[in-house]
A and B are shown apart, each in its own frame.
Chain A
Amino acid sequence: MRLTCAHLDEVRQALHNGHWPEASSPELRAHVAACARCTQEVFVTLHLRKERSEALAGSRPEPASLIWWRAQARRREAVLARATRPILAAQVFALVVVVAAVGVTAASHWSAVVGRALAAPTSIATLVDLWGIAPLVVAAVILSTLGAVALYLSTDRR
């Protein structure tokens, strides 16, 4: 069988416009009867159009207003997610800054701490004596930042 036929467009047009077979010319009908390709086109198209009519009758779409409302709700969620993304980024940035500050401070005092630790047993009092209250403040900041990030992430997932 050939892939196409010179009368195929004419046959398709007749099928599409609902002219087949009654409103089609006798010549076209005679051609379809003799052409395997066009017969197949008519056969399959009529069957699928019938299927389509039955399916259209069986469909029960939800109200448009409900779809519209759901789309708006999803759009709001997307906008909210986009808007809160910078907040998370800021929190992560703050955490990185704090960790870096602690690292720099620790590195600059490392030799003194090690020397003292070797000379005398390490205790909270020794560390406070060495660095003052700064490490405790930094530790509190880290803990509160981590807590905020953890709280945010858990809320975001829900």
Chain B
Amino acid sequence: MNWESIIPNVAAAGELPAAQTAMDNDQFTAFYDRASRPLWAYLARTSGDPALADDLMQESFIRFLTSSPPLDGEVASRRYLFRIGTNLLRDHWRRNRTVSIDELPPERSAAPDNSAQSDSRLTLSPALARLRPRDRQLLWLAHAENYSHREIAEITGLATASIRLLLFRARREMSRLLTRGGGL
């Protein structure tokens, strides 16, 4: 008699039924193909660190699969995935610093521009790099991912009422930086 026969749930976990994981392997592969690149872009551009984005993206999908994701369609699943990624990013910043994400100065959260990351696809534009991480998050979700204020609130954990004002300030700051630096 081995331990797997004593604890049948453990043995069965190798081939988890779809009801437990919300998605089967094929569904997940299709979802991953559509959602992984946008999530990576969000994490990389918000953190300014492509290597960190790699790690967080992988962890986000693993947590997505091991938790109970929403069952009401891909849009909700993708929003849930972005929420996991946002929380992981926030946890990462909290672990490394004692200040909150709102107080983080921009230069401390953006990765240094070393030779390995000097590829223009992987580095932040000057205007984006000068913004605070929270502002980058909000602007990215609103303008790059086209999420509504309610959805942004759901992803970031902020109050819906405060999103409009925070976005207004972030947009104004970015517009100022773009105008000054000729960003477009």
Contact = CB atoms under 8 A, between A and B. Distances in A.
24 contacts: A3-B165, A16-B146, A44-B178, A47-B125, A47-B174, A48-B128, A55-B41, A55-B121, A56-B37, A56-B38, A58-B44, A64-B28, A64-B36, A65-B29, A67-B62, A67-B65, A74-B62, A75-B13, A75-B16, A75-B66, A80-B10, A82-B9, A83-B10, A84-B7
Contact of A83 (B9, B62, B145, B178): B9
A74 B66 CA distance: 8
B133 interface: no
Nearest to B140: A48
Identify whether the interface residues of A are mostly helix, strand, loop, or mixed: helix
Contacts of A70: 58, 62
A47 B127 contact: yes
A82 B28 CA distance: 26
A118 B21 CA distance: 70
A58 B179 CA distance: 26
Interface in B130-154: 139-140, 143-146
Nearest to A54: B121
Given A16-B146, A67-B62, A1 B178 contact: no
A61 B125 contact: no
Interface in A23-63: 40-41, 43-49, 51-52, 54-59, 61-62
A40 B172 contact: yes
B73 to A, nearest CB: 19
Contacts of A65: 25, 29
B171 interface: yes
Contacts of A12: 146
Contacts of B128: 48, 51
Contact of A59 (B7, B36, B58): B36
Name the residue among B9, B37, B50, B172 with the largest chain A CB count within 10 angstroms: B37
A90 interface: no
Size range of the chain B interface in the assembly: 35 or more
A41 B142 CA distance: 10
B16 A61 contact: no
B92 interface: no
Given A51-B128, A67-B62, A80-B7, A58 B13 contact: no
B100 to A, nearest CB: 24
A35 B44 CA distance: 32
Given A51-B144, A67-B62, A1 B40 contact: no
A53 to B, nearest CB: 9
A52 B120 contact: no
B52 interface: no
Name the residue among A16, A70, A84 with the largest chain B CB count within 10 angstroms: A70
A44 B62 contact: no
Contact of A55 (B21, B40, B175): B40
